[in-house]
């Protein structure tokens, strides 16, 4: 059978969004090296790194389960 083109485009877009949210964690790396990882003194831009957990623990598993469901062959009954 195969995966339809709109489903493939949707899964590609969803995967890119999940990856972009996970990359937000890299925003915190310079703050750690500069010693800005203390909550009381951290600038506002370092809080973006806190959202990367959503990509890792919510969006990526949802994307991978959706991809597995679409790639599964139809059951023959």
Rounded to 5°, the CA angle 43-14-71 comes to: 145
Distance, in Å, from the CA atom of 21 to the CA atom of 13, rounded to the nearest integer, reads 12
- Residue 21, classed as helix, strand or coil, is helix
Question: How close are the terminal C-alpha atoms of the chain, in Å?
Answer: 16
Task: Tell me the per-residue pLDDT of 2-29, one tens digit each, with 9 for 90 and over.
Answer: 556 667 888 899 999 999 999 999 988 8
Task: Tell me the per-residue pLDDT of 59-77, one tens digit each, with 9 for 90 and over.
Answer: 999 999 988 888 777 654 4
Contact at 8 Å (CB) between 57 and 27? no
Whole-prediction pTM value? 0.74
Task: Tell me the per-residue pLDDT of 31-50, one tens digit each, with 9 for 90 and over.
Answer: 888 888 777 888 888 888 88
């Amino acid at each position: 059978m195969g995966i339809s083109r709109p489903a493939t485009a949707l899964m590609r877009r969803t995967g890119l969004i999940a990856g972009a949210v996970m990359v937000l964690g890299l925003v915190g790396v310079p703050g750690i090296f500069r010693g800005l990882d203390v909550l009381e003194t951290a600038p506002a831009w370092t809080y973006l790194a806190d959202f990367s957990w959503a990509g890792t623990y919510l969006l990526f598993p949802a994307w991978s389960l959706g991809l597995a469901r679409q790639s599964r062959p139809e059951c023959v009954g």
